Amino acid sequence: MAFKSKLPHQEISIFSVMSKLAQEEKAINLSQGFPNFSCDPILIDLVRKYMVEGKNQYAPMPGLAALRQIIAHKIKSLYQVDIDFEKEITITAGATQAIYNSIQTVVHTGDEVIIIEPAYDSYSPAIKMCGGIPVAYQLNAPNFKVDWDELGKLISDKTKMLIINTPHNPTATRLDEDDLQKLNDLLADKDIFVLSDEVYEHLVYDQQKHVTLLSYPELYKRSFVSYSFGKTFHATGWKMGYLVAPPILTAEFRKIHQFTVFSVNTPIQHALAEYMQEPNNYLELGDFYQKKRDLFLEAMNGCSLKPLPSAGTYYALFDYSEVSDQKELDFAKEVTRKFKVATIPVSAFYSQKIENRVLRICFAKKEETLIEAASRLSRL
């Protein structure tokens, strides 16, 4: 039978490659972005409670009203933006599904989508699967700062969407007010949609604040904004997220959503709606992860790997240029085999495999795990 792949050149995910190697080498896995500690027992008890109460059938297609209401309340209290929970919030099966469906909603065959690289690895395949063309704007080490004038040169009459991610995975940078104002000015007279991936919104450090696209009305009216409960509440395996978009875009998004997943986990939606009534359950996350970041960086003081600033997310980048001239993937594999710590080569997040000689390390781990990993890496 003849078969034509929709992603003929797609490689195996770097996360699968490095996690498999970590398992084979019995190494500490600081590659894939997930915590090695449990979420709040209170949240687990709430899920159990709603399962026992029989909340186990389909939820409404857009998501449980109580959960969407508490999200709208959170947005209002944090960003002073009014969001209609009925017409602008949809609960999704993780942020990746929200991202995928957002792209499917507006991108057609031949449309171009600008992505900022290094980029989360689901963006480009999602664009290609609906016949779109990814167009890469490349950030460079060590500051990974967007030059909006240079990015603007990539815009053509085929450009349909631009994807941003803040705080940014994998570089651990964040966009500030000046960045979003420049983006606003760049797109002011153009018919281009924006997808803003803000899954790490609560993981911002050093007394800084997350700057959301929701706060820019002219940007928001053309935008899809995705979020993750999994990243926020240490439960990535639950695959729970949500999408915020203006009513006209939400209506079109839901047409796609209803025929991909229709609705998502009912008891967990009930549990999250109750759990989020206590704002500290998400407001304290920045301090929680900053302590882990600082502990890990302190433990890495004697290491030849040089840290780059980590302004958000639960990742830190390390420059190894004084240690080796190997390509990033080769060096990451060598570190896993010799020192039993798995990391991620940042080159894997570029379509052209740009080599900055930088590794990404996840610090969403128990303190003892981070200290042991730093001890091993200090032998480099």
The one-letter code for the residue type at 342 is A
Rounded to 10°, the helix 65-79/266-275 angle is: 40
The reply to whether 22 falls in a domain is: yes
The reply to whether 322 falls in a domain is: yes
DSSP H or E run through 43: helix 41-52
Query: Are residues 266 and 292 located together in one domain of the fold?
Result: no
pLDDT at 196 over 90: yes
Query: Are residues 206 and 264 located together in one domain of the fold?
Result: yes
Q: In the structure, what pLDDT confidence band is assigned to residue 330 with cuts at 50, 70 and 90? A: very high
DSSP H or E run through 243: strand 241-244
The reply to whether 103 falls in a domain is: yes
Q: In the structure, what pLDDT confidence band is assigned to residue 311 with cuts at 50, 70 and 90? A: very high
Query: Are residues 128 and 255 located together in one domain of the fold?
Result: yes
CATH number of 158's domain: 3.40.640.10
Query: Are residues 146 and 196 located together in one domain of the fold?
Result: yes
The reply to whether 92 falls in a domain is: yes
User: Using CA atoms, how far apart are residues 143 and 328, in angstroms rounded to an integer?
Assistant: 18
pLDDT the model gives residue 6? 85
Query: Are residues 49 and 170 located together in one domain of the fold?
Result: yes
Mean pLDDT taken over the chain: 96
The reply to whether 125 falls in a domain is: yes
Phi, psi at residue 242, to the nearest 5°?
-155, 160
Whole-structure pTM value? 0.96
Q: In the structure, what pLDDT confidence band is assigned to residue 174 with cuts at 50, 70 and 90? A: very high
Residue 370, burial from CB neighbour count under 10 angstroms (0-12, 13-18, 19+): buried
**Total domain count, the chain:** 2
The reply to whether 301 falls in a domain is: yes
pLDDT the model gives residue 32? 87
Q: Which two tokens stand for residue 191?
A: 């018919």
CATH number of 22's domain: 3.90.1150.10
pLDDT at 166 over 90: yes
Could you report the per-residue pLDDT of 98-145, keeping only the tens digit for each?
999 999 999 999 999 999 999 999 999 999 999 999 999 999 999 999
Query: Are residues 46 and 22 located together in one domain of the fold?
Result: no
**Structural domain of residue 357, as residue ranges?**
14-32+284-377
Q: In the structure, what pLDDT confidence band is assigned to residue 34 with cuts at 50, 70 and 90? A: confident
